[in-house]
Amino acid sequence: MHRFLFVAAALLPALLSAQEIRSGEEIVVERILIDARVTNYGGEPVLDLRPLDFEVKIDGMAARVESVQWIPETAAARFQAGVDEETFASQESDAPKGRLFIYFIQTDFARNKARIGGQMKFLSFADQMIDELEAWDRVAVFSFDSHLKFRLDFSDDKSEIKEAIHSAILIDEPPPPRIAANPSLSRRLDREEMKRAASPDEALILIGNALRHIPGPKSMVLFGWGLGILSSGRVVMHHKYPIARQSLESSRVTVFALDMTDADYHDLEVGLGKAAADTGGFYAKTHIFPKIAVDRLQRTLSGHYELEVRKPPTKKRGTHTIEVRVKKKGTYVLARTSYVDR
């Protein structure tokens, strides 16, 4: 007994010293969750990737990928992954089952022929996208002309979704949509704030903030004609864009920009491409081969990887850059390019 007390007493200073060192250093290991979509150049998902297949850099420094999980998002992808629909339906999760889509439609208030004409031509292909939605999918619809307009809360009713998209071409003031069961955005959006959102960037801030309370990833399909401002011969992003980007990033929203402008090239497509690339999506034109763009989107949205990454010891605070690549030839990686310290 006396010998035990002596040994314990001898070890006590060493234990205290170790505790003091740990307390003084305040070592905190921060982990970052990154949604990544990995496809071949034809848009087909690349499966069976492991942590060692990924290379991630934060602020240019190598970051350790601690875990990788493939999340199948369609019935076909779940079947391929060996998950039957009965098992999927019974799984408990904080996040809603199925995919959450936000359709954000830019309607030109000035009624530019190339913009409105392109929008009208694409509507039939938008209907095709809606027809191919699956049972668990939900869609909310917004439009923007002079300000943000909320046309449909999250719904799985395909006829409702089509009606909301087709009505977006009108310059009107739609009534408040029917409040959906959870997930819902209706209680998170103020009509007066939406009327004051005079730029698409301000509209994206409101949408991103409203989505923040809903767990899990979301996909925004931006049916647009342009983001940014043409100044001195070049396109610069709106001064509210960094806030919009942070709002979308915080809510795990990925932007897929489908450019409906009926033109081979236009200046403001640069802004659409930037918003998509920054959030982990892609940009595609629809005026010549719209079906190719829609098919690529459908394939890309069949599943994604969730990467848990250990943040390297960077001393930078605020906004950090993210680079994700896969060490396998013939792969194309879509992942957000930044995150902000909480």
118 vs 69 pLDDT, higher one: 69
CB 304 within 8 A of CB 35: yes
Whether residue 289 is predicted with pLDDT greater than 80 in this model: the reply is: yes
Owner of token pair 């007390």: 5
pLDDT at 152: 98
pLDDT in tens, 195-253: 999 999 999 999 999 999 999 999 999 999 999 999 888 999 999 999 999 999 999 99
pLDDT at 214: 96
Mean pLDDT of 268-283: 97
pLDDT at 300: 95
Whether residue 2 is predicted with pLDDT greater than 80 in this model: the reply is: no
Cis peptide before 215 (omega within 30 of 0): no
CB 277 within 8 A of CB 37: no
pLDDT at 1: 45
Please name which of 335, 338, 340, 337 lies closest in space to residue 54, comparing C-alpha atoms.
335
Q: Which H helix or E strand runs over 229?
A: strand 229-231
CB 206 within 8 A of CB 244: no
Whether residue 145 is predicted with pLDDT greater than 80 in this model: the reply is: yes
pLDDT at 215: 95
At 114, list the tokens: 């190339």
pLDDT at 85: 87
pLDDT at 154: 98
72 pairs with which residues across the strands? 303
Q: In what order do the strands lie in the sheet with 303-310?
A: 332-335, 31-39, 303-310, 61-72, 54-58, 319-326, 338-340
Please name which of 191, 308, 282, 208 lies closest in space to residue 252, comparing C-alpha atoms.
208
Report the predicted TM-score, pTM, of the whole model to 2 decimal places: 0.89
Average pLDDT, the chain: 89
pLDDT at 87: 85
pLDDT in tens, 7-50: 334 433 443 333 443 444 555 668 999 999 999 988 899 999 99
End-to-end Cα distance, the chain: 51
Nearest-angstrom CA–CA distance, 248 and 204: 7
CB 98 within 8 A of CB 134: yes
pLDDT in tens, 77-135: 999 988 888 888 888 888 888 999 999 999 988 788 888 888 888 888 899 999 999 99
